[in-house]
Each structure stands twice: as structure tokens, then as C-alpha cells.
Amino acid sequence: DFTMSAENVYISVRMLNSAVEDILDDVANGRRVSDGIELGFTAGGEKQDNSVEYPELIYDGPFSDARKDKCYHGSEQLGAITEDEAKLKFAELFSLENVHVLGMSSLPEAYEMEGMLGQASVYASMSVQGGMILNLLVAKTPGAVHLSEKESERLAIDYAERLGYHDLVPVWYNADAGVAYVNLAPVSGDAILYTDLVKVKVALDDGTIMGLEAMGYCTNHHDRDYKPRMSAAAAKSLVSPRLSVSSVRLCVVPDGSAEVLCYEVAGSYKGLDYFVYLSADDGREVNILRVVDDNQGRLTV
């Protein structure tokens, strides 16, 4: 089961680390990669089959890097804006001066723009369809921490709302080096839409929004009408009893190029955080995730 796979991860990582160290020693002693250095796991002098299915490892929240086939539900029904309209909107949204367009990008088609907020540069991608901010980056070095988790989440939600991303709730929080990383997701019925994430970076000294990424929302957001066929209690009963369960909730998650309504069963095992995703239709296991960052972050329930 997944707990045994988790333990096997450590074994394979240690073996991989040892193999890499051997390669570095070889290189340091003058051996070249072109001499035929091989990377393999060994035990008793023989290579082993390491094709174990491990939990997918995550660093910044469930499905934070998920990408489905590009359909752009979130912006395709909106009218196109011109370059001049994009520059004006960018300047007004962020009170910028010296706004200029750096170029164009595709998938989706967007204006790449830059402007100045005092002495700080602000960069953004704005979609041609609807003028939605897809990516935002504000140059800033954060100072001493003053804001709490709740204050950071409120600022992130307010900022996303101002940019046109509505009905969002915080689903993941992590703070590091004076910066909070807040993942937001819309809710459809009782289900969290992990497919439609908006990710916001907040400076913890003064609440400046240092970054935003909304490609998931612009790619996937549309009305859903999913109904679970099994209960949360039934889903919980399907996971290993060794998992100490902290929450069970409905969510929509990517599954290859499609999406599926699941129960997210969150819990811990031997001090590590896991998320098990079971189909709300038939209970099949869709995915297992484990947090691996040193500052693990926290699921927001």
C-alpha cells in the first residue's frame, strides 16, 4: 500500500544519493561522462528493479503544477482588448508609470508588459481575451514579518478579486523568508476546484503582492455539475488505517487531460503529510501526494 511505498522512497533516495556521490568521485578522479559512467542502484553487486509506484511528491500545494489540455474556459468568452487598452488597464490596476509592451506570447495569446511602481518594476502577462492577468511579478525584497496567516490569506483573496478572480477560498499556505505563498481555488457546490488555482505571493512585512499566477483559472474555470455517488465516510474507510486522517472533502482534480470529482483524504503517517484522492463515483484511487518541502506548508480546511 502507499505507506510501504513511502518507506521505499527513502531507500531509493539514499541509493540514488550514493550513486551520484560515486559519479562525482569518478569525475573528480578524472573519469569523464563519455567514459561510460552508469547510474544504477546496486545491492549485493546486482542491479535491482526500482519500478515501484511511489506517491507523487509535491512542494507547494496539491496540484499546484497541474496542467490539462488547453481550452481556456475562463477567458474564451470574453472580448479581445487592444494593445493600448491593455497598457491603460495595466497602468490603472497597479498605479504604474512608464508602462510598455515587451512583446506577445501564446497559449493563450497575451501581452507581456512592464511598468514602474515608484522604484520597483512590475511585470505581467495580460490575456488578449478579456484582459485577465495571467502572471504578475513585483520586484521587492521583504523585510521583517508582521502579517499573520489569516491576514495574508485575506490580502491574497482581495487582490485576486480585484483582478477578476471570484469566489475563491484559500486551500494551501506556506511561508518562507518573509514571503507567504497562498493557493486559492473556486468552490463549485461543496467541491474545491484544484484544477482552477490562483496562486498569490504576499510580502509578510507590509502586505505587498509580489506575484500572482492564474493560468489554471483562465484555462479551466467553468460551471460544473458534479454529484458524488459515495459518501465521505465510505471514502475514508478505503484508505489505510495507518493514515491518521485529519480531513475529508470533495474536490475536482486533474486526471491526465481530464478531471474527476474526488474525495481528498488528508492525513499523516510517521510525521509526513499525505493526500489521498479517491473517485467520488467508484472509490478508485486517482492519486496520492506527499509533501516534501522542509517548510511543508499547510492545507487550509
Q: How confident is the model at residue 284 (pLDDT cuts 50, 70, 90)?
A: very high
Question: Is residue 279 pLDDT above 70, yes or no?
Answer: yes
Per-residue model confidence as pLDDT tens digits over 181-218 = 999 999 988 899 999 999 999 999 999 999 999 988 98
Measured distance CA(120)–CA(138) in Å, rounded = 7
The bridge status of strand 179-188 relative to strand 191-193 is antiparallel
290 vs 24, more confident: 290
pLDDT at 107: 78
Per the model's pLDDT, the better-predicted residue between 231 and 218 turns out to be 231
pLDDT at 16: 58
Give residue 223's pLDDT: 83
Question: Residue 30: pLDDT band by 50, 70, 90 thresholds?
Answer: low
Q: How confident is the model at residue 4 (pLDDT cuts 50, 70, 90)?
A: very low
- Looking at residue 97, its pLDDT comes to 95
As a whole number of angstroms, the distance between CA 154 and CA 11 comes to 41
Q: How far apart are CA 248 and CA 280, in angstroms?
A: 11
For the four alpha carbons of 220, 223, 229 and 231, in that order, the dihedral sign comes to positive
Nearest partner of 107 among 81, 72, 79, judged by Cα:
72
Q: What pLDDT is stored for residue 200 in this prediction?
A: 94
Q: Which alpha helices (DSSP H) does the chain contain, by range?
A: 2-28, 83-94, 149-162, 215-220, 232-236
Please state the separation of Cα 190 from the chain's center in Å: 21
Q: Are strands 198-203 and 209-213 parallel, antiparallel or unpaired?
A: antiparallel
State the pLDDT confidence band at 273, using cuts at 50, 70 and 90.
Answer: confident
Say what the pLDDT of residue 7 is. Answer: 47
CB atoms within 10 A of CB 208: 17
Give the largest Cα separation in the chain, rounded. Answer: 68
Nearest Cα neighbor of 191 from 206, 169, 213, 172 is 169
The arithmetic mean of pLDDT across residues 110-129, rounded, is 93
Q: What is the chain's mean pLDDT, rounded?
A: 80
Per-residue pLDDT reduced to its tens digit, 42-101: 344 443 443 334 343 333 566 665 554 454 554 556 689 999 999 999 999 999 999 999
